[in-house]
Amino acid sequence: MTTCTTTSKLPPYVCIDNPACKNKHVLRELAQEVTFPLTPEVQQALSDLEAKFDSEKMIAGLAAPQIGYSYRIIIFAAPDDPVIKQFRKDLVQTMPKTIWFNPTYTPLNNEKRKDMEGCFSVEKHVGPVERYTHIAYTATIMEGTKITGEATGFLARVIQHEIDHLNGILCMDKVKEAEKIDKKKYIAERKKLLEQIHINQTC
Ligand SMILES: [Zn+2]
């Protein structure tokens, strides 16, 4: 994982709990609305965000503020992947890699579910986050066209997590202190589980 001390050409992740990050205020701002046609600055942010997303193996989504751009842009995916489904039993609605500008969400009912979340902007912890299970969304896509739709389960979780970033909210803000889990340990355990799944699949 790239951190604030990266030497990569892509912008590093801004991490709220890394003392080396000087621009962590960007994670707490209301990000700027994007207008069309895209300005060269927004195009650069978009290009970096997509390259950053593509450079990660295990990633559900990223928001522009996470790499230092205070723009309302998110990129995410909920692929039809049997390995992810082992961890995310509520991955029932899938979506390929998607880029949205100025997205919003509203809950369609009061039902919520807790599930583990981690974030590239939080280095030390992961934890269970309560999210709405069914939301309506609005967004603008690449051509400037406005879209609306509904999302459920894991897809709805990812969308809520990423849109929260545009409003200065981090998933760990929603995790009780006692429920925070060491990120390194959690990732190591998940790797073991993934290896186990791989063995089962190839046997
Ligand atoms: Zn995040």
Give me the tens of pLDDT residue by residue for the chain, a chain 203 residues long.
445 555 568 999 999 999 999 899 999 999 999 999 999 999 999 999 999 999 998 899 999 999 999 999 999 999 999 888 888 999 999 999 999 999 999 999 999 999 999 999 999 999 999 999 999 999 999 889 999 999 999 999 999 999 999 999 999 999 999 999 999 999 999 888 878 776 655 44
Whether 13 maps to a domain, the answer reads: no
d(CA 181, CA 124): 8
Q: Tokens representing 39?
A: 């300005």
CA 105 to chain centre: 15
Distance from C-alpha of 125 to C-alpha of 34, rounded to nearest angstrom: 31
Tell me the C-alpha distance between 70 and 47, whole Å: 14
Q: Is 42 helix (H, G, I), strand (E, B) or coil?
A: helix
* 126/184 Cα distance (integer angstroms): 9
- DSSP designation for 31: P
For the chain, where are the alpha helices, taking DSSP H only?
A: 40-54, 82-87, 153-166, 183-202
First to last CA, the chain: 30
Ligand 1 centroid–CA 59 distance in Å is 10
Task: Give residue 86 CA to ligand 1 midpoint distance, Å.
Answer: 21
Kindly state whether residue 55 falls inside one of the protein's structural domains: yes
Residue 101 is predicted with a pLDDT of 98
Q: Is residue 182 part of a domain?
A: yes
Q: Does the residue 193 lie in any domain? A: yes
Q: Give catalytic residues, as residue numbers.
A: 162
How far apart are the CA of 105 and the centre of ligand 1, in A? 16
Q: Is residue 45 part of a domain?
A: yes
CA of 202 to the centre of ligand 1 (A): 32
Quote the ligand 1 centre to 110 CA distance (angstroms): 23
Q: What single-letter amino acid sits at 84? A: I
The structural domain count of the chain equals 1
The residue type of 146 is: K
Q: Provide the residue range defining the domain that includes 120.
A: 24-202
Which DSSP category does 145 fall into?
-
pLDDT reported for residue 7: 52
| 167 CA to centre of ligand 1 in angstroms | 12
DSSP letter (8 states) at residue 50: H
CATH of the domain at 155: 3.90.45.10
Residue 71 lies in a domain: yes
- Residue 12, amino acid: P
162 within domain boundaries: yes
Q: Ligand 1 centroid vs 21 CA: distance in angstroms?
A: 16
Nearest to 10 by CA among 57, 49, 64: 49
Residue 124 lies in a domain: yes
